[in-house]
Amino acid sequence: MTLPAFSRPTPSDMRRSMGRFTTGVAVVSAEDSDGEPCGMTISSLTSVSLDPAIILVSLTHGSRTTEAVEAGGRFAVSILSSRQEAVARRFATRGGARFEGLPCDRTACGLPVVADALAHLECTVHSAHDIGDHRVFYGDVSELRWRDGTGLVFYSGRFGDFRDFGHDEVPWLF
């Protein structure tokens, strides 16, 4: 199928184009000023530096989670497994206490994380920048843990899972 002509980016064109970039899915979480856990689903998770360990997340302005990360200077990330699509949907739906009734753990410094995720990272904010309609937070990773499993993926507005072809070698673990 051929590509259409180039056009100037509208927000919905940006969603559709960037939706062609398959990503993993994570929940970024924090505690708000009342000590209540909050969080939101994200795909804008990037490993920026291995040593020192630094990641980035890009969070929309006006979100309760964005405000909590800004105010508390800390955040946690739960990388979701393919069995956690319902969690991804819950944390992307407006309103409600998203952690209520959900199995959750705490990081060493007490941040809430989603239980049974594939990996948990606890971060202190290294720096942050407003870029367009989002605020980008760089996080110094203070603690992490991971397990094997199948990752939840997002492509073109749909959830799916990563198909592991079971090669013995892992050549791209750079």
Ligand X SMILES: Cc1cc2nc3c(=O)[nH]c(=O)nc-3n(C[C@H](O)[C@H](O)[C@H](O)COP(=O)(O)O)c2cc1C
Name which of 140, 146, 134, 100 is nearest 122 in CA terms: 140
Q: Which long-range contacts (CB under 8 A, 24 or more apart) does 109-112 make?
A: 109/74, 109/142, 110/31, 111/29, 111/30, 111/31, 111/74, 111/75, 111/76, 112/29, 112/31, 112/37, 112/39, 112/76
Least gap, CB of 66 to ligand X (angstroms): 7
Say whether residue 19 binds ligand X (CB under 6 A).
no
Least gap, CB of 58 to ligand X (angstroms): 5
What backbone phi and psi angles, to 5 degrees, belong to 145?
A: -155, 160
Select from 44, 82, 136, 138 the one that contacts ligand X (CB under 6 A). 44
Say whether residue 81 binds ligand X (CB under 6 A).
no
Q: Which range of residues in 4-12, 36-44, 48-56, 103-111 is near ligand X by CB under 6 A?
A: 36-44
Contact code string over 86-125 relative to ligand X, x by CB under 6 A: --x---x-x-------------------------------
Least gap, CB of 30 to ligand X (angstroms): 11
Instruction: Give the separation between CA 25 and CA 86, rounded to whole angstroms.
Output: 12
Least gap, CB of 24 to ligand X (angstroms): 9
| The two three-digit tokens of residue 151, written as one number | 């990752």
Which positions touch ligand X (CB under 6 A)? 25, 40-44, 58-60, 63-65, 88, 92, 94, 134, 154
